[in-house]
Structure 1
Amino acid sequence: MNHSYTVLYEDIKLRSLEEKDIEKVRNWRNLEWARTSFLNADIISQEQQLAWYQKYIKKENDLMFVIEWGGMDIGIVALYNIDYTKSIAEFGRLLIGEPLARGKGIGKKVVKAICNFGFNEIKIETIVLEVLESNSYATKIYLDAGFNCKDKYLTVGKTIYKMEIQKGAIDG
């Protein structure tokens, strides 16, 4: 799969994840506050991160991006489980890892950028996501960007919202 994309949206840039990025991503993902936003809250080792990356680059349905803002890498986001036949993809792995970039509205811009990319560049019609009910900050971003809550369920003691957005529903 082509893992070489660049997406520009307002003052942010999404660029394809490269091997040189994986240690920075691992450090962001291992931050205490970040781990609690994911279903799997385990600490990730360097070996686990490298093994994940080696599997990732072989996948035909997974696109991971590094978020750049103000000339610096600040986070990550992905479209994955892309099903071109059914015209659907899953959105996730959104993490603004750099503290100075948090609370500045970048998350909503990233959501809009990646959705526009999915709809217009890789030609999917529906994007779905799952978010922990306890992650109210992310849930608000997704609702503000145009996602609708379609279901709610419990897994491993955590409540999950299933959300989706259709092509044409994103604002901006």
Structure 2
Amino acid sequence: MLTLRGDLVRLRALEPEDLDFLFKAENTEQLWGLSQTQTPFSKHILKHYLENAHLDIYEVKQLRLVIETLTKETIGFIDVFDFDPKNKRAGIGILILEPYHRGKGYGKQALNLLCNYCFKHLQLHQVYANIEEENNASIKLFTQQGFVLSGVKKDWNFTNGTFTNELLYQYVNNVH
């Protein structure tokens, strides 16, 4: 079985044709808190980002993949960020854009595929996720995949006039 393909979704590299979907995702104001964004992105900036998306993870320390159904419908993104090859760790973030695609196992499979990729191909020892304390769906997703709560960052994010806690979840791969 291919590392980035399951029976529900496949993960693939960004393509120029993803510009409109990326524009929608990055400019949905309700999602800005997830990426600490405070301003919209222009199509020009996002086009430039797509033109450079091919750069090696060892150079740019991040990787964004498209989550696509097997019928080739783009439904979200999954990211590796803060890639640290020396310490063999990286952060993971996931977005299933439309609520009607959530709860169908797509995110679970995408997260599983990406974790396997990180451990097998990037030789990581651990991956982690930063999750807002109120984001029960993400907490459930990551804990079902074996991530463990390892810390609470008190009053970490300031959103809508309120400080919120951010939780740190880790998955340590003990298979060597």
Tell whether the structures are fold-level matches, with TM greater than 0.5: yes
Q: Percentage identity across aligned positions?
A: 23
1:82-101 residue CA offsets vs partner (Å, 9 max, x unmatched): 11111111111x11114442
Residue 54 (structure 1) shift: 5.2
Q: For the Cα contact (< 8 Å) 2:3–2:116, is it kept in 1?
A: no
Deviates more, 1:139-148 or 1:18-27: 18-27
Deviates more, 1:150-159 or 1:107-116: 150-159
Residue 143 (structure 1) shift: 0.9
Residue 131 (structure 1) shift: 1.1
Q: 2:23 aligns with which of 16, 22, 26?
A: 26
**Equivalent residue for 2:6?**
9
The 5 A counterparts of 1:74-89 are: 74-89=75-90
Aligned partner of residue 24 in structure 1, secondary structure:
helix
Q: Unpaired segments of 5 or more residues in structure 2?
A: none
**Equivalent residue for 2:68?**
68
Aligned partner of residue 5 in structure 2, secondary structure:
strand
**Equivalent residue for 1:107?**
107
- Matched residue type, 2:6: Y
**Equivalent residue for 1:158?**
164
Residue 124 (structure 1) shift: 0.7
Aligned partner of residue 169 in structure 2, secondary structure:
strand
Residue 6 (structure 1) shift: 6.8
Aligned residues: 164
Partners of 1:130 and 1:36 in 2: CA distance: 12
> How high is the TM-score relative to the length of structure 1?
0.82
**Residues 122 and 106 (structure 1 numbering): CA distance in 2 closer, same or farther, change over 3 Å?**
same
CA-atom RMSD, angstroms? 2.4
**Equivalent residue for 1:40?**
37
**Residues 41 and 143 (structure 1 numbering): CA distance in 2 closer, same or farther, change over 3 Å?**
farther
- Matched residue type, 2:172: Q
Partners of 2:111 and 2:42 in 1: CA distance: 28
**Equivalent residue for 1:136?**
136
Aligned partner of residue 75 in structure 1, secondary structure:
strand
Q: For the Cα contact (< 8 Å) 2:7–2:70, is it kept in 1?
A: no
Aligned partner of residue 20 in structure 2, secondary structure:
helix
Aligned partner of residue 127 in structure 1, secondary structure:
strand
